[in-house]
Amino acid sequence: MIDLLAAVLALTATFAYINVRWVRLPSAIGLLLTALLSALGTKLAAALGLVDLSPVIRVLQEIDFRETLLEGMLGPLLFAGALHVDWTVLRAQRGPVLLLATVGTVLAAAAIALGLWSLAPLFGFSIPVLWTLAFGVLIAPTDPIAVGALLKKAGVPPRLQVTITGESLFNDGVAVVLFLALLGVLVSGSAPAVGDIVKLLAIEVGGGIVFGLALGWVAVRLLRAVDNYQVEILVTLALVSAGFSLSRHLHVSGVLGMVVLGLIIGQSGRAVALSPVTQQRLDEFWELVDEFLNAALFVLIGVEILVLDFQAPALWLGVVMIPLTLLARFASIALPLGPLRRRYDLPSGSLRLLTWAGVRGGISIALALALPVGPVRTTLLAVTYVVVCFSILVQGLTMERVAKRLLSA
């Protein structure tokens, strides 16, 4: 375990240094691009017989990407993201956020699933309907980790930033719950009753929100009782790590729990429990945690290519799914939110910007890796990689330019 951690730290530091020193792209994009190019170059060198990949592959195979992200990184990353959300603006934009995180996620998943089911036979793949639905659910949620810093740099208005970030924080919880329900069907081979699915959603989603509220209540009272920033930072770290772990045993959504906890500490905690010094130190600490975990996540996405064996038809299917995914994203925004754009005071061009800002990230890859092992999983994993890499590299690199053009029109 120590050797694995040392290897991840060394890789992350190396690629971060290369990006800052020479590549000079936004952190997430530069790290992913550097890691991808390094991995592909290493694969080419191995194919030419210049290097032996077996020691590297053995180390990478010991890293459970799904477990590392979903059970290790995700809780702290979502808490850190929610900690800096302006609650006043989020409350004003709660309508669009909830519509996009629920109705929008379901619409996008259904449209993507239908598109994959229709297109897969053209590339020689026969993908069962349930598997296409699982793919739709895992690729539908946007990634708050990937998009947050890009929106700030692009100069997007605060209310639109909060709408995009808030949707990204909450739709992860909805998508994970839906995915787990579909995964249970794929593993067991028997479909549960509609009532059982509704019950699961209610317990996971509702329970996650209530759990986050309870943790937030405890957090504010603990933090208000002391005035020592080292101890207060330690309290937040303990609540995030222990709370996320406890949520799994309670069978509630730890994703939503951490988002709610972050919002409470970021709002109520700042107002009644944290001194100015503690607020500054707490922000600095969680920004550092956010930056490091982000860096490690995108490096892992890049180097994971070394242990995955993708076939050309699956990669081409992924390329074709890129525009379809974008169209599904636009439809999932325009249908529920289009008629209400004036009511929520969304600027002109906001629907198209919301579409382009729907960056996919590590959560989609982690969920794809959780699918039952087999040829269909291999195909869907390849498609997921293509869509995610395009999303981060192309949408991410052009975010600032697109935002300025759409919002100035």
For 361, list phi and psi in degrees, rounded to 5.
-150, -150
Domains and CATH numbers, the chain: 2-408 (1.20.1530.20)
Per-residue pLDDT tens digits for 140-179: 998 866 666 667 776 777 788 888 888 888 888 888 888 9
| Of 146-160, 288-302, 372-386, 395-409, the least confident | 146-160
pLDDT value at 190 more than 90: no
pTM: 0.92
| Of 37-46, 292-301, 344-353, 381-390, the least confident | 344-353
Nearest Cα to 333, choosing from 94, 108, 158, 90?
108
Q: Extract the tokens encoding 206.
A: 């509702």
pLDDT of 109 reads 96
pLDDT of 192 reads 65
Helix 129-139 and helix 375-390, axial crossing angle in degrees, nearest 10: 30
Q: Is 7 exposed, middle or buried (0-12, 13-18, 19+ CB in 10 A)?
A: middle
Per-residue pLDDT tens digits for 36-75: 999 999 989 988 888 888 888 887 888 888 888 888 888 9
pLDDT of 146 reads 61
> Average pLDDT, whole number, for the chain?
88
pLDDT of 93 reads 85
Share of the chain above pLDDT 90, in %: 47
297 vs 201, higher pLDDT? 297
pLDDT of 147 reads 67
